[in-house]
Chain A
């Protein structure tokens, strides 16, 4: 029973490059959520997806950020033209329905 799988665990990008973060939900979970956590800060909601649908993207920055959850394969959070302020831990979580989430181990993004 694999949990929520995120990769890579650590990602270093130079300013202006693209970052792609991947998340495979737990088996049987159809709801995927992405959160961002800055050092010493709380978890900030970014986007909620189900297969092939974005349900709520109210926490996504208007530019450079996008997310998808295709019919096949993992959910992808994509950050284009990264800036230093994008450095953070990005957590993916999944749920079966309205129960609590299970979180992945996160991707620590460092922009240099």
Chain B
């Protein structure tokens, strides 16, 4: 059974700080990785995808991938209260295209 692991949190950071969200996965053959944001009572929203080792930046968000360590992270710079949400890491199942989701990390940005 392929697994995606995240700390459930809550992760509390002050406004303006860097929030660091981590995810590990069990399938060494995984090639693509996704971060979703889910506000309470809403549906998940894709915010970042990463396919190669290293960093990928998009505005205040940076995704980091280390395939050797089977580790993917999401950094949020200059955190804002509006970033408070649950962040879900997702990795495709190798056999089909379905995404396996971690349980999510709840981020709370304190004003």
Interface residues of B in 40-91 (CB under 8 A from A): 42-46, 49, 88, 90
B contacts, CB < 8 Å to A: 32, 34, 36, 42-46, 49, 88, 90, 92-93, 95-104
A contacts, CB < 8 Å to B: 31, 33, 35, 41-45, 48, 55-56, 91, 95, 97-106
What is the number of contacts between chain A and chain B, taking CB atoms within 8 Å?
52
| Complex contacts, A105 vs chain B, CB 8 Å | 42-43
Known: A43-B44, A104-B43. 18 other contacts (CB 8 A): A35-B101, A42-B104, A45-B100, A48-B96, A48-B98, A55-B97, A56-B93, A56-B95, A56-B98, A91-B44, A99-B49, A100-B34, A101-B99, A102-B46, A103-B36, A103-B43, A105-B42, A105-B43
Q: Which of B42, B46, B102, B104 makes the CB contact (< 8 A) with A101?
A: B46
Q: Which of B32, B43, B95 makes the CB contact (< 8 A) with A106?
A: B43
Say what secondary structure dominates the interface of chain A: strand
